[in-house]
A = this chain, B = another copy of it.
Amino acid sequence: MKRLNVVDKGFLLAESREMPMHVAGVSLYTLPDGADESEFLRGLVANMRDADSLLPPFGDRLKTGRLGTAGPAFWEPDPALDMEYHVRHSALPKPGRYRELFTLVSRLHGTLLERSRPLWEMHLIEGLQNRQFAVYNKTHHAAVDGARSIHVARSMLSADPAHILEESPLSLNNWEKYKANLSLGKRPDYSASEMRAVTDVLKASLDSSANIFKAVKGFANAWTGRSGNLTLPHLNVPSTALNRPIDGARRFVAQSWPFARIKAVAAAFDGTFNDAVLAMCAGALRQYLQTHSELPKKSLKAMVPVSLRQAGDVDSGNAVAAISADLATSVADPAERFRQIQASVQAGKDYYSAMSPSEVELFSMIMQAPSMLLMPLGLISRLPPYNVAISNVPGIQQTMYWNGARMDGSYPLSIVTDGMAMNITLVTYDQNVDFGIIACRRSLPQVQRLIDYMEESLQALEDAAGLKAKPAKKRAPGKRKARAKAKPKTRKKATARR
């Protein structure tokens, strides 16, 4: 039995009915030509359920002792694994727009995973327009982090539309094949792209002599105002609608933008792709708060998770550290806002750059300590550690297929907490960047507007950079089929309001 580490167990301890600690993704697919929707989906459901032994921890459930999750916790095989329970076939009411999909996904994301069973669910959803179907995947953060979720999702995909999986993508056999291909370098584009965020952050000096005391000294300097561009949790974080206590209901919206548009903005300002994403989100959040007449004087601070997974290591659990980025929402000029964000991110990276992965993990926990004290006291919304989380997960940069069904997009759904009622997570896929925004339904009832504001923010950055802005054409879902395959850069997907 594998024992849970302290970080994974933290996700179990922190969980409540208002704050589920699972992560998820919703993917869109187009049926292969001529396939019958219902029959094809039943085939996929049967294939998903067909596994002798499952990739850990998909066949394992939690085992705790007398102390419950307060004591040691382990993964043990579920003695009565019920694949019919985990793999579910669902449907949308007519007319089957993205609106109906996002409504269903918002509900599914608001329910807790069953603790006495392996901590995952997979929903195959029929009834979308235009021969599309959707898959909603949900996994507990204690069992598997976002990056590993991506690996698992990827292991069922192929660049070859004719490829048919023989066994469940969750089977141990399939996983071993996937890992073998990965380490043999047969899919070099995967490992290159998937490690981009990591290599951005982790320098060659990762295992240097830098130690935790230096980091604590930096932390102390920040608290006493001698931190330069470095921002740290709880420091100068304004309180907004994003930072109230939450309830258990959610709103989810998703949208895709061409990777090239965001990358062009990054290049124009001599920043990273991630800097450009943060600047795009910052402009949108500024506009949202302005519209609701509550733009704070202090700038919003974003938690930006950085994966500490090393290249080639696809089997380890959670290995994530957090940077606190100043979103410069008090700055009206988009170019100046970009520069301030960039400086703040660089300071955050520098702070971690000299630490080893285990030091970063330890230090991340020390940094969370004030939150752990404030949360039970109900003070977290008065002293929020950050205003919002913005997370960039590297994905696959080519068109992929699941048993012949083309994947059209893949949108992440992360965790929101008391004091941090919104999470923006994005995945690069094919020629696009797929954004998923999850929010507390009560704190942010109009979160769907953020999608419009993000487009406006991106255009403002393009204008400021002197790029020829391509005004995004809002394509109705019914027109998706008509989009030009030859010009993927202007694709825009999953536009929906609810």
Contact = CB atoms under 8 A, between A and B. Distances in A.
B85 A441 contact: yes
Interface stretch (A114-122, A339-347, A425-433): A114-122
Interface string A10-46: 0000000110000000000000000001100100000
B247 A116 contact: yes
Nearest to A442: B80
A93 B94 contact: no
Interface string A77-101: 0001010010011111111000010
A441 B93 CA distance: 27
Nearest to A41: B93
B17 A115 contact: yes
A306 to B, nearest CB: 32
A107 interface: yes
A110 B82 CA distance: 15
A442 B116 contact: yes
Contacts of A92: 91
A248 interface: yes
Nearest to A251: B85
How many copies of the shown chain assemble into the complex? 2
A146 interface: no
A87 to B, nearest CB: 12
A112 interface: yes
A126 B442 CA distance: 27
A299 interface: no
Nearest to A245: B116
A91 B127 contact: yes
Interface residues of chain A: helix, strand, loop or mixed (majority):
loop
6 contacts: A82-B441, A91-B94, A93-B127, A114-B248, A115-B248, A116-B247
Contacts of A260: none
A94 B115 CA distance: 30
Interface of A: 17-18, 37-38, 41, 80, 82, 85, 88-95, 100, 103-104, 107, 110-112, 114-117, 126-127, 247-249, 441-442, 445
B38 A117 contact: no
Given A111-B111, A248-B114, A93 B91 contact: yes
Contacts of A248: 112, 114-116
Contact of A112 (B17, B117, B126, B247): B17
B85 A93 contact: no
B93 A126 contact: yes
B89 A93 contact: yes
A94 B90 CA distance: 9
A93 B17 contact: no
Contacts of A117: 247, 249
A118 to B, nearest CB: 12
Contacts of A116: 18, 247-248, 442
Contacts of A247: 114-117
Interface centre among A93, A111, A445 (most CB of B within 10 A): A93
A88 B114 contact: no
A378 to B, nearest CB: 10
A81 to B, nearest CB: 11
A445 B84 CA distance: 11
Contacts of A37: 94
A18 B116 CA distance: 9
Contact of A85 (B82, B94, B249): B249
Nearest to A110: B114
Contacts of A126: 93-94
Given A111-B111, A112-B112, A38 B249 contact: no
B441 A38 contact: no
Contacts of A107: 88
A80 B249 CA distance: 13
